[in-house]
Amino acid sequence: MPCAKRRERHVIAADPAEVRSLLERLERHPALARLSAEERDCTLLVLAEVLNNVVEHGYGGTPGWIGLTPLPGRPGLGWRIVDRAGQGPAPLALMRDMPLVAAEGGFGIPLIRALTDRLALRRKRGLNILTVEVRSDCSAV
């Protein structure tokens, strides 16, 4: 009897060095290898922003973990990020447009929003669950 296919999942410590290491591994990920160079770079930029935001703002220097799972249907472009940090940004914060000049904290959420077709955050059983679908036409941004 064949085994059921397990969903791929990456779990890292909420630490900038761990984020960097994961992004380096993802550069060689089979799903990302199928993307154009522009799509791959855009995906890595979105994931870097999201993961570093969780480390810096969600956990704020306290220990924790971050889970990253590719979504079926949009290989390399769709991702789910899960953490147990404090409550994520308010839903209205996810709607911000890209500012003309960088705010004190950088472009963060507006940049993520500009580079994604879908950005959805929910909280369930103490977990922040962020779903992102990266745009396949990042050059239009």
pLDDT computed for residue 125 by the predictor? 93
pLDDT computed for residue 98 by the predictor? 47
Task: Supply the pTM of this predicted model.
Answer: 0.84
2 domain residue, yes or no: no
Domain CATH number, residue 82: 3.30.565.10
77 domain residue, yes or no: yes
Expressed as residue numbers, the domain containing 127 is 10-140
1 domain residue, yes or no: no
pLDDT computed for residue 136 by the predictor? 86
3 domain residue, yes or no: no
pLDDT computed for residue 109 by the predictor? 83
The number of folded domains in the chain is 1
Q: Which residues sit opposite 68 in a β-bridge? A: 10, 81
Mean per-residue pLDDT pooled into runs of 10, the chain (141 residues): 66 98 94 92 96 93 96 91 81 50 63 92 93 86 60
